[in-house]
Structure 1
Amino acid sequence: MFKNRLANIMFIILITLTLIGALILVLYTQFFQETDASGEPTIEEILKVSVETEEITTNLLSNHIIRTKFVIQLDNKKAKSEFEKRDFQVNNIIIQELSDMKESDFRGSEGIEKLEERLRKALNEIMQEGEVVNVYMNQRVIQ
């Protein structure tokens, strides 16, 4: 290769170190970094962008009283900040949705899922910075 033997040895050592470095980089990225293949957020990430409402008590259409709390998951921290500022609007939307429901609408999981979806859509209408990903009914007492 080169006429100088020292230059050949240095060149071989340089190539060997480069290959070892590349091998270490590939192994590190493949085996030691945690990657989430499904793309689903972890529970810690969900908690960072979730807001729990205060306890809300209101009348239902069927003259029953409901006391409830919700946990609302948003898509980013800016949305969470905006959502916290809009708490009076959120409470108003929740009360309006609950006031249109009867006690029988809460029987079974389908009624609760429908309410959560209606709330998600209604809350997304007022959001500007982000969006509501999920609404979870955290507490429910009907009297």
Structure 2
Amino acid sequence: MLKSRMLQWLIMILISITLITMAGFFLWNYLDEKSQPEDPSVAAAASVDGVKPKKLTADQMLEQTVEIADITTNLIGKDFVKISFAFELDSKKSKEEFEKLNTRVKAIIIQTLADLNAEQIRGSKGYDLISTSLLNKINPILTAGKLRQVDITSINIVLN
């Protein structure tokens, strides 16, 4: 009788330890997933979360768009790129601020492109990578509004 009670207690303790270990394992995995860096497209979507989508007329789009043309910079390796952008902002006020930050924006563009190679920027996936990276890096420096969209208007990759 004493042995059967001890056996029952031993089984309950082993089951408890197993359940606690499993709970700890699942909690560890959950927290580890939260600490992983976000996908650039997810981060881009989150950075424009506060911007309400609305249909803009062509005139409104023109009033809220800033073009930066012909930035030439080296890529990883010996290759270089000549690229132009159109940045669509959410208001005239944010456009004015963006224009004042022109040199800072150009520096961010050059820094972003310097971390890429020619293979990474080719094709629509490469263009999306550049656009979302710039969106994620430029939005934090804007205080008067948000950058809604980054369009690549021309790109020329020179391979050496």
Are 2:132 and 1:117 aligned? yes
Partner of 2:93: 78
Percent of pairs identical after alignment? 34
State how far apart, in whole Å, the 2-side matches of 1:78 and 1:69 are. Answer: 23
Out of 106-115 and 79-88, give the one that drifted further.
106-115
* TM-score, normalising length: structure 2: 0.64
Query: Structure 1 stretches of 5 or more lacking a match?
Result: 1-37
Partner of 2:106: 91
- Tell me the CA shift for residue 54 of structure 1: 3.0
Match of 1:57 among 62, 72, 83: 72
Amino acid at match of 1:47: L
Partner of 2:58: 43
Partner of 1:105: 120
State how far apart, in whole Å, the 2-side matches of 1:127 and 1:111 are. Answer: 25
State how far apart, in whole Å, the 1-side matches of 2:54 and 2:87 are. Answer: 20
- Tell me the CA shift for residue 105 of structure 1: 1.0
Amino acid at match of 1:80: K
- Tell me the CA shift for residue 39 of structure 1: 3.4
Does the residue aligned with 1:137 lie in a helix, a strand or coil?
Answer: strand
Q: Contact 1:62–1:101 at 8 Å: present in 2 too?
A: no
- Tell me the CA shift for residue 95 of structure 1: 0.2
* TM-score, normalising length: structure 1: 0.71
- Tell me the CA shift for residue 114 of structure 1: 1.4
Which segments of structure 1 move beyond 2 Å, counting only runs of 4 or more?
Answer: none
**For the aligned residues, what is the CA RMSD?**
1.2
Corresponding pairs, count: 106
Query: Structure 2 stretches of 5 or more lacking a match?
Result: 1-52
